[in-house]
Amino acid sequence: MLLLADQTVVEPFGAVKPLLFYALAAVIVLSAWGIVLSQNIVRMAVYLLLTLAGVAGFYFMLHAEFLAAVQLIVYAGGTLILIVFGVMLTSKNPFMQLKTALWERFVGVLIGLVIFGLLLFGLVHTALPTGAAATGESGGGHYQVAAIGRALLSDYLVPFEVAAVLLLVVMIGAAFMARRSAKQGNG
């Protein structure tokens, strides 16, 4: 018992943490720009996957393993697959090009600048934590994932499975509707 108490926690990222942060930030920003600038729906989905994976990397760096796993499983895995299947099943040409009008681009840039300004304002006017909270030495947060897992598989098992079945029914319904409309268009 004393041997365990004397061991120090080794930071998994160590000296490369700033480099990893900037690399993940570059991946997120570049892939987000790829989503905005691309006119191909499938490429947009790939860029979205890179963006979501980069955000999961940030969660891992913050030692929020549960949020990182949820980010990868729910968003990068589930939602992105639903988007791709929805596009593939309902579109006659999944590789179609999207064209936007000049006024739509202007409105998008304007909204993006407003959101950027609000985020910058919030960043400038936010007090940074000091002491143990600033270094992340709050302690004891690693056992929360096990508690969340136990709760999901005991107390919240029925809602969890209902959500899974609902997503499956939506997917089957979308495939059925796409197949039916394709038969009506051909016949």
Q: What is the pLDDT of residue 180?
A: 66
pLDDT digits (tens, 9 = 90+) for 49-80: 999 999 999 999 988 888 888 888 888 887 78
Domain map of the chain by residue range?
13-118, 141-187
Range 121-130 average pLDDT:
82
CATH architecture of 13-118: Up-down Bundle (1.20)
Q: What is the pLDDT of residue 13?
A: 63
Range 110-126 average pLDDT:
90
Cβ neighbours around 171 below 10 Å, total: 15
Range 118-139 average pLDDT:
72
